[in-house]
Amino acid sequence: MSNAALDQLRHVFGYDAFRGEQAAIVDHVAAGGDALVLMPTGGGKSLCYQLPALLREGTTIVVSPLIALMQDQVEALKQLGVRAAFLNSTQDAGEAATIERQLLEGGLDLLYVAPERLLAPRFLSLLERARIALFAIDEAHCVSQWGHDFRREYRELTLLHERWPQVPRIALTATADAPTRREIVERLALEDARQFVSSFDRPNIRYAVVAKHDARRQLLAFLDGHRGDSGIVYCLSRRKVEAIAEHLASRGITALPYHAGLDATVRAANQRRFLREDGVVMVATIAFGMGIDKPDVRFVAHLDLPKSPEGYYQETGRAGRDGEAADAWLAYGLGDAVLLQKMIEDSDAGEDRKRLERRKLDALIGYCESTGCRRQTLLAYFGEAHPGACGNCDNCLSPPVTVDGTVVAQKALSCVYRSGQRFGAAHLTDILRGADTAKVRQFGHDALSTYGVGGDLDARQWRSVFRQLVAAGLLEVDIEGHGALRLTAASAAVLRGGRTLSLRVDPAAPAPPRRERGR
Ligand code: ADP
Ligand code: ZN
């Protein structure tokens, strides 16, 4: 490591040492090499271009899609005495002209620009007249059309390499999966760049998944362990965000709503309170979080299933950026999976895209139903092996009890079959438990051979069995049929007794004692 870099690290940034791969990256880029940096959120990506910016002659141009983030970073850099500025649509012509002049005079170490601004012909010709030290492309996964943050302009950034082949480039992202990585390399012409891949493990985050049965009560119980902490509660819909925020507030919790449908001033005010005050719980849709750098978020709770492991990882990654213990808690039910599947089918995406989204959703359902270490499951999805069980997730801390569930599965599958593959988990549970409901009588389901054969499990436990069977691919949800469960090609082997199955036992609900039926 060069002395100059260490010197700047200590005297400008005030850090004692580099973290993880930072030293190697700074060395490589400062010496003029191209780099692709994959580092989890909170890993310290910014320093990887900010420090080379100070070591190299000229101005480093930082491409960033997030205007709010740009402003925060520039503010922070200025406080450290670094000559930084940004150009974006929030400025008037006078301000912009001043910054452009500074650029040409060599008075800037870093200039942050939005991609559309950078690509404007007028700005490109301005760059021709400036001295450029480095191009830093932040949030590089925005080039990927499969990702959730696709930005068309990112596709045109190869132009930088074509026009300034001698200027090094560093692309950075926290999105780890291999297809996205390949797409970044290809789309940004980074074939010759050195790749720096950090571990995506966040050892201080404790992962837990609970079966959702009374979401509000379960959330309150979880929050009980986090009194006075800052945290985020994610919900799928705007309406639910508002309802949950109100509910928490009525219980004396400082909870604020955040979603794209709120007035911009309300949104900004809520975000500001979350960032500045202690102990604010932000109840939000996924519109909240990108670029939020609050180190002491102690928990991220999900009341609805996210769409993919990437989304889940990114959202939970906002917890514990300070390295202190934090919780990632997810309440999940079969209904969530059904709803998300329906959203995929109803969208006007192409068949390829739908297939990809289905696969991601299935991976996340698999994570929820996993009886092994959650961290291992999550990291494996990103192509990373975790040595041994982590000891810091629900399954490691209290290993789920699994039993031979073959007979239970046979009862469930044959109940699906005999009732015509037209009903959802709730009614199937009623049949298995021998419930006397209007619907059971209407369809004559009390005459089925599976009627009442499942009285040894309570309703919650049957729900869990159905979820696990869906996750194991032994049942599928019929979206057209309003969430009816159907057999799959794999079900037959279990039904015929040719395949055994291990199932997790969820604890019985602390319900009133069951009445003995007519004896
Ligand atoms: P990312 O962009 O990867 O999410 P940041 O660049 O915002 O991460 O850095 C995350 C946090 O880590 C910031 O608060 C930053 O100040 C801090 N940080 C980065 N590098 C170091 C270091 N070498 N030593 C101590 N703190 C660091
Ligand atoms: Zn674990």
**What is the token pair recorded at 322?**
């300070």
* pLDDT of 202 higher than 50: yes
H helix intervals, 401-458: 406-418, 425-432, 438-442
Q: What is the residue type of 203?
A: P
**Cα 42 to ligand 1 centroid, rounded to whole Å:** 6
Question: For the ranges 7-11, 175-179, 350-354, 422-426, which has the lowest average pLDDT?
Answer: 175-179
CB contact set of 264 (below 8 Å; sequence gap of 6+): none
Which pLDDT score is estimated for 90? 82
Looking from the CA of residue 19, the nearest atom of ligand 1 is 23
The answer on pLDDT for 256 being more than 50 is yes
**pLDDT surpassing 60 at residue 69:** yes
Beta bridge partners of 284: 234, 258
Q: Which of 12, 19, 202 to mutate to test the pocket of ligand 1 (most atoms within 8 A of CB)?
A: 19
Residue 519 has pLDDT above 90, yes or no: no
Q: What is the pLDDT of residues 13-23, one digit of tens each?
A: 999 999 989 99
Average pLDDT of span 13-41: 94
Average pLDDT score over residue span 67-82: 90
Strand partners, 63: 113, 137
Q: Phi and psi at residue 26, in whole multiples of 5°?
A: -60, -45
- Tell me, what's the pLDDT at 170? 98
**Residues flanking ion ligand 2, Cβ below 5 Å:** 373, 375, 389-390, 393, 396
Rounded distance between C-alpha atoms, residue 388 and residue 411, angstroms: 35
Work out the widest C-alpha separation in the chain, in whole angstroms: 94
Residue of 446, 444, 418 whose CA lies nearest to 433: 446
Least confident of 77-86, 139-148, 189-198, 302-311: 139-148
Indicate the top mutation candidate among 7, 9, 10, 13 to test ligand 1's pocket, ranked by most ligand atoms within 8 A of CB: 13
Task: Quote the ligand 2 centre to 329 CA distance (angstroms).
Answer: 14
Ligand nearest to the Cα of 392, by number:
2
Percent of the residues in the chain that have a pLDDT greater than 70, as a whole number: 96
Q: What is the pLDDT of residue 324?
A: 94
Q: What is the pLDDT of residue 144?
A: 87
Closest C-alpha residue for ligand 1 atom 24: 15
Q: Which ligand is nearest to the CA of 398?
A: 2
**The 35-38 sheet, strands edge to edge:** 84-87, 110-113, 59-63, 132-137, 169-173, 35-38, 194-197
Mean of pLDDT over the chain: 91
Q: Distance between CA 404 and CA 502 in Å, rounded?
A: 5
CA–centroid distance, 19 to ligand 1, in Å, is 8
Mean pLDDT of 100-116: 96
- Ligand nearest to the CA of residue 207, numbered in listed order: 2
> Confidence class of residue 478 from pLDDT cuts 50, 70 and 90?
confident
- Residue 393 DSSP one-character state: B
pLDDT at 1: 62
In this predicted structure, what is the pLDDT of residue 507?
A: 66
From edge to edge, which strands make up the β-sheet containing 205-211?
Answer: 205-211, 326-332, 297-302, 230-234, 281-284, 255-258
- Residue 203 contacts by C-beta under 8 Å, 6 or more apart in sequence? 390, 392
Residue 402 has pLDDT above 90, yes or no: no
* pLDDT surpasses 60 at 518: no
Compute the average pLDDT of residues 277-298.
Answer: 91
Tell me the ligand closest to 378's alpha carbon.
Answer: 2
pLDDT band at 411 (very low <50, low <70, confident <90, very high): very high
Confidence of residue 467 (pLDDT cuts 50, 70, 90): confident
Tokens 């039926």, located at residue: 517
Cα of 396 to ligand 2 centre, how many Å?
Answer: 4
**Which pLDDT band holds residue 219 (cuts at 50, 70, 90)?**
very high
Task: Flag whether pLDDT at 342 surpasses 80.
Answer: yes
pLDDT digits (tens, 9 = 90+) for 349-398: 888 888 888 888 988 998 998 888 999 999 988 878 888 899 999 999 99
Q: Kindly write down the DSSP assignment for every residue of 339-383, as one continuous string.
A: HHHHHHHHS---HHHHHHHHHHHHHHHHHHH--S-HHHHHHHHTT
- Under the banding of pLDDT at 50, 70 and 90, the label for residue 401 is confident
Candidate of 1, 7, 12, 47 to mutate for ligand 1, largest count of ligand atoms within 8 Å of Cβ: 47
The mean per-residue pLDDT over the stretch 188-202 comes to 92
- Chain segment 479-506, per-residue pLDDT in tens: 776 778 999 999 999 999 888 888 888 7
Residues with CB under 6 A from ligand 1: 15, 18-19, 22, 39, 41-47, 293, 295
ipTM above 0.95, yes or no: yes
Lowest mean pLDDT among 42-51, 248-257, 445-454, 467-476: 467-476
Residue 353's contacts (CB-CB under 8 Å, 6 or more residues apart) are 146
Q: What is the pTM of this model?
A: 0.77
Identify each DSSP E strand in 114-251 by its residue range.
132-137, 169-173, 194-197, 205-211, 230-234
Q: Which residue has the higher pLDDT, 517 or 447?
A: 447
Confidence (pLDDT) at 458: 92
